[in-house]
A and B are shown apart, each in its own frame.
Chain A
Amino acid sequence: MGFRRLRAAMLAAAVATLPIAAAPLPAAAQQRPLVWGDTLPATLDPHAIFDVPSQFVLLNVYDGLYRYQGNPPQLVPWLAESHTTSADGLTWDFTLREGIKFHDGSDMTAEDVVYSFRRLLAMNRAPAAAFSPVLRAENVTATGPRTVRFVLSSPYAPFLSAIPLVAIVNQRAIAPNVANNDWGAGWLAVNGAGSGAYRVDPATYQARVSLDLARFPQHFMGWSHTQRPIDTVRARPVMETSTRVLALLRGEIDATDSYLPTDQVERVDRNARTRVARDESMRVFIIRMNNRKPPFDNRDARLCFAHAFNYQGFNDVILRGLVVRNGGPNPNNLWGNPPDLVPYAFDLNLARQHCDRARAAGAPIGREIEIHVQNELEQTVQAAQMFQADLRRVGINLRIVPNTWAGITGATGQPQTTPDMWVHWVSTYFVDPENWVGQMYDSQFHGTWKASAWYSNAEVDTLLRRARASLDRAERERLYQAATRQVVADSPDIWVYNTLNLRGLARRVQGYSFSPVGSGGELRLMSLEN
């Protein structure tokens, strides 16, 4: 094929003209860049967004005071070398490491940390939500060149768990680019101002299309942990699953997203050039029920539905056993989850008994129930279809309504507009039971999509609020376990599984290390064979 030779020649010519950001390697060791095929966030601004794709930018371009590493995730000091907490749990003092450099070569100081938190709170976007209830901008202060003090308005145990969400940004890089009081949001959406292991190349950046990263040799953690660090990374999101798999098999990309469909796993593993990394994550698959809408205000009705879902059929047959049964709101592998929790079983006879009881109590079991699915996520559709067939056998008529994430979450502000049922995952925002049972079943979160079961139980509210304010880990563990047991007994939702993240990788990628926060996208840990 003449094309191949032509392409090789063109590639060589192109590579030869590439500006290599790091010190040039000897020509023999010239490394092919890593091509990352996972989804990119809508913006590069780490304070404007928090979703799964944004963690790629957060972990590679920026650093936080603390960071989650490994699986199950451990919270390790990162930019901070240590912290102390006052006895009342309100005052938190962090000490920065020495000699941290931003990408422009300037030194990071406590002032940058203060600026970052003030910017976060002023912009008041997704990552701020974990802090805004307990932290005011004026209560973040630099007490020295390397020391920062946070004074909370009320005790909030998950504070440290949420600290890794906040990227420390370079005040000096942002200041000249502030336009009409936007904290530089317009500029930082398409630029980088971090200290992370990789630098953004703003010249070639196109939102959701291409992001080029170059290794930052002066990163404070150093590079002694790897022999062959990756010098150049090209993030090229692939939208369609089929194209993504083909691109990996063909070697056009080195990594897919971490939600490889289960029916593609074998195909990717069989290929000599590629493999699938399987890692237990903390991402729970849930079928929600609107507890404010009859028949779901009746516990028997809810139990009827909980016993009518074929867990084993879905997990082991449709998803080929590539998930882990998870019988409660928290991931099994998280602390604070009762170790002896017995998941509800698929049992249509039991379901019928509960339904009969609910009917006898006047619950409108006979009405058509709507279940909203996220059309862009095939698995939510599959789950609903299977559920529909089994519910028909107990005399329940389920109608599947195609919708989108934005469409459903926009409707969960009130119980009247919240769907009867809907299907989604709860991913790791921060590693604390607060992220799951805390925000899903404490009635103070009503009006958010996470609390869209509209579950209300005064006893559970008390337990969760005490757990949120306590600084004693053992006590929190006890409180969360008690709350979770009570929630599971009330069966406000249907909990199906905990995800195994499946990422297709080129075999030349070494050192891939998964953590539920960031889904294994931390590039500094990886190296390339060729």
Chain B
Amino acid sequence: MARYILRRLLLALPALLGLVVLTFVLSRVVPADPAATLAGDAATPALIAEIRAQYGLDRPILEQAVIHLRQVLTGDFGRSVFSGRPVAEEILQRLPTTLELTFAALFIATVLGIPLGLVAALHHNGVVDNLVRVLSVGGLAIASFWLAIMLQLVFSMELDILPLRGRVDVAMGMPPRVTGFVLIDSLIAGRPELFVDGCRHLVLPAVTLSLPGIATIARFTRSGVLETLQKDFVLYARAAGYGRVRLAAIYVLRNAVTLVVTQVGLLFGALISGAVAVEAIFDWPGLGTYAVQAILSADYKALLAVTLVVGVVYAVVNVLVDVAQVVIDPRVAEEGR
């Protein structure tokens, strides 16, 4: 098992290395030049050239790439050209906020998606099944920013039961930082009211982000369950007089979960990329908004670091998924040899 995990991790390394190189090349192909922006409104050509030299932007591209790679390998992401702060520090401050959102969305997607898929499969071609099918297509087709604004209009503006934006209530302020996760830090600080507030701010963005996930998981659960229902052992069990519910719970679902777990890894990538738009609309101070601001200001250091961090998180999640699959079904590891 340990050897399997180690091998999985090692396999992720070349991919991450490729990511570093690729993002660097992309950042240089796009002719955005932070020096011009930094030099500001009354820039002189001399000032722009000076800033370029200061950041090494005037060096040959290959040399820049080597320097960048060396820095990344030593864990030095440099400083944001705009805020003057270490990029690593800024990202660490925001990573937990994005993870809170993506995990919450993943949780919602799982607890809603699996039962929906299961019910749909058990009532194959029935009303519920068709509804779930519509939802699966719709959930993937609906633009998240449109859904976000609709949810804001309904639950914030009309019903006034959920906050419109932000991570916590403006009057309350963030809890003292321990882990960076507001929900955990508020409990550590012994402020249950802040925990509740943090949860309420989480609802709309997490629901928005989870919709494509619900659709995907429901679809896979449904097809997984249908497939399992055709299997011989299910027929035997039925013949032996097992009830539908028991059958579904014990045999069918367990087999279907393996399929779903496979999906979670892929889904996580979609969630992180979807978080960019959702974070922007809800003013969620995570990596998504950070990336958008970095793009708009050509803060390439920040952008390269965000891409890499997201890549690492994605790789780690996928290794965890692989491990979970082995735990559920040890035959997977054998196949991987």
Spell out A's residues near B (CB within 8 Å): 1, 3-4, 7, 10-11, 13-15, 18, 33, 35, 42-43, 45, 48-51, 124-130, 132-133, 162, 182, 185-186, 189-190, 204, 206-210, 212, 234, 236-240, 242-243, 246-247, 249-250, 252, 376, 404-407, 409-413, 417, 427, 429-430, 435, 439, 445-450
Contacts and interface: CB of A to CB of B under 8 A. Distances in A.
29 contacts: A10-B172, A11-B169, A11-B172, A14-B169, A33-B171, A50-B42, A51-B40, A124-B51, A128-B47, A190-B85, A207-B83, A207-B85, A208-B289, A210-B174, A236-B166, A238-B283, A252-B165, A404-B298, A405-B37, A406-B32, A407-B31, A407-B298, A409-B37, A410-B35, A411-B31, A411-B33, A413-B36, A430-B42, A448-B39
Contacts of B85: 43, 186, 189-190, 207
Given A243-B283, A427-B41, A129 B47 contact: yes
Interface in B41-96: 41-45, 47-48, 50-51, 80, 82-85, 90, 93
B166 A449 contact: no
A406 B51 CA distance: 15
Nearest to A208: B293
B84 A234 contact: no
B36 A410 contact: yes
A410 B298 contact: yes
A412 B36 contact: yes
A179 to B, nearest CB: 11
B127 interface: no
A446 B46 CA distance: 11
A7 to B, nearest CB: 8
A406 B156 contact: no
B45 A448 contact: yes
Given A14-B173, A125-B38, A404-B298, 14 more contacts: A3-B160, A10-B169, A10-B197, A14-B169, A124-B47, A129-B41, A206-B174, A238-B165, A239-B281, A406-B297, A410-B33, A413-B48, A427-B41, A435-B41
Contacts of B269: none
Contacts of B311: none
Contacts of A239: 280-281, 283, 289, 292
Interface in B186-229: 193, 196-197
A246 B164 contact: yes
A130 B44 CA distance: 9
A13 B153 CA distance: 28
Given A208-B293, A246-B157, A132 B34 contact: no
A410 B34 CA distance: 7
Contacts of A246: 152-153, 156-157, 164
B43 A126 contact: yes
A129 B40 contact: yes
A411 B34 CA distance: 10
A133 B42 CA distance: 11
Chain A to chain B: the 7 pairs with minimum beta-carbon distance, closest first:
A126-B40, A410-B33, A406-B298, A447-B45, A42-B82, A129-B42, A409-B36
A254 B9 CA distance: 50
A129 B83 CA distance: 18
B317 interface: no
B157 A129 contact: no
Given A189-B85, A207-B83, A448-B45, A49 B40 contact: yes
A417 B31 contact: yes
A448 B43 contact: yes
Contacts of A450: 41-43
B26 interface: no
Given A132-B44, A206-B285, A449 B36 contact: yes
Given A126-B43, A410-B36, A43 B82 contact: yes
Contact of B296 (A124, A132, A405, A429): A405
B169 A242 contact: no
A185 B196 CA distance: 38
B182 to A, nearest CB: 12
B239 interface: no
Interface residues of B, number: 60
B10 interface: no
A202 B215 CA distance: 43
A150 to B, nearest CB: 17
B161 interface: yes
Contacts of B173: 14, 204, 212
Contacts of B31: 407, 410-411, 417
B134 interface: no
Contact of A127 (B40, B157, B164, B170): B40
Contacts of B197: 10
A187 to B, nearest CB: 10
A252 B48 contact: no
Contact of B164 (A48, A212, A234, A250): A250
B43 A15 contact: no
B295 interface: yes
A210 B165 CA distance: 13
Contacts of B165: 238, 243, 247, 252
Most A C-beta atoms less than 10 A away, residue of B34, B39, B283: B283
Nearest to A2: B161
B48 A448 contact: yes
Contacts of A376: 296
A133 B163 CA distance: 51
Nearest to A446: B45
B276 to A, nearest CB: 11
Contacts of B42: 50, 126, 129-130, 162, 429-430, 435, 439, 450
Contact of A243 (B93, B152, B161): B152
B249 interface: no
Contact of B33 (A206, A409, A446): A409
A209 B83 CA distance: 13
Given A3-B161, A125-B40, A236-B283, A48 B45 contact: no
Interface string B141-161: 000000001001100110011
A43 B83 contact: yes
B30 interface: yes
B50 A250 contact: no
B83 to A, nearest CB: 5
Contacts of A435: 41-42
B171 A15 contact: yes
Interface string B9-41: 000000000000000000000111111111111
Contacts of A243: 152, 164-165, 281-283
A42 B80 contact: yes
B67 to A, nearest CB: 19
Contacts of B153: 246
